[in-house]
């Protein structure tokens, strides 16, 4: 629920309407919690606390259980994420070929640490154990795009491609 700045009344946002439709679809299913959480995250981009409370209430599942599932699985996020997710490979091949320097370079350019999101919500930076593109080391993925054989000199140009 959002609060109207004009009247101070609570109003339903389009996202809230979508969430209620999602909950209505899964209300009678056993084991609905994870699909509902995935759907809610698709709707909001992350899982705000009030959304978790609504899911708990509507599915009649204790909030502690909902929160426990969200914090157990790495696919769920409690903070807003960037429009573009940058995954920097720090696996063995990338490590040997300078993956950590690429990671440090991106941290400096973006001004965020591992798992951080830029203030404009343009990028989220994450390190991963292996992307599976060892022949391109050092490698990063931005959303579904793979960029390999990187040097810190080319990072700015790569980032410019993403709004």
Alpha carbon separation from 157 to 9, 23, 154 (Å, rounded): 46, 43, 6
Are 138 and 102 in contact, with CB atoms under 8 Å apart? yes
Cα dihedral sign, 148-150-155-157 = negative
Cα separation, 34 vs 6, in Å, equals 36
Are 150 and 87 in contact, with CB atoms under 8 Å apart? no
Cα separation, 105 vs 102, in Å, equals 5
Tell me: is residue 89 an annotated ligand-binding position: yes
Tell me: is residue 130 an annotated ligand-binding position: yes
Tell me: is residue 4 an annotated ligand-binding position: no
Alpha carbon dihedral 137, 150, 74, 123, in 10-degree steps, equals -170
The residue length of the chain stands at: 163
Tell me: is residue 6 an annotated ligand-binding position: no
Binding-site annotation, residues for [2Fe-2S] cluster: 89, 94, 130, 134
Residues making up the binding site: 89, 94, 130, 134
């Amino acid at each position: 629920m959002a609060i109207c700045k004009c009247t101070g009344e609570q109003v339903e946002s389009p996202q809230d309407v979508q969430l209620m439709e999602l909950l209505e679809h899964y209300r009678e299913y056993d084991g609905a919690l994870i699909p509902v959480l995935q759907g809610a995250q698709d709707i909001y981009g992350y899982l705000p606390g009030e959304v978790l409370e609504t899911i708990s209430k509507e599915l009649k599942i204790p909030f502690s259980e909902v929160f426990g599932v969200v914090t157990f699985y790495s696919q769920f996020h409690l903070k807003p994420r960037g429009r573009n997710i940058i995954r920097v490979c720090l696996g063995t091949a990338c490590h040997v070929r300078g993956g950590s320097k690429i990671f440090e370079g991106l941290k400096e350019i973006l001004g965020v640490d591992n798992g951080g999101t830029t203030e404009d919500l343009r990028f989220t930076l994450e390190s991963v154990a292996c992307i599976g593109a060892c022949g391109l080391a050092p490698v990063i993925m931005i959303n579904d795009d793979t960029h390999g054989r990187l040097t810190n000199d080319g990072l700015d140009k790569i980032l410019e491609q993403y709004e």
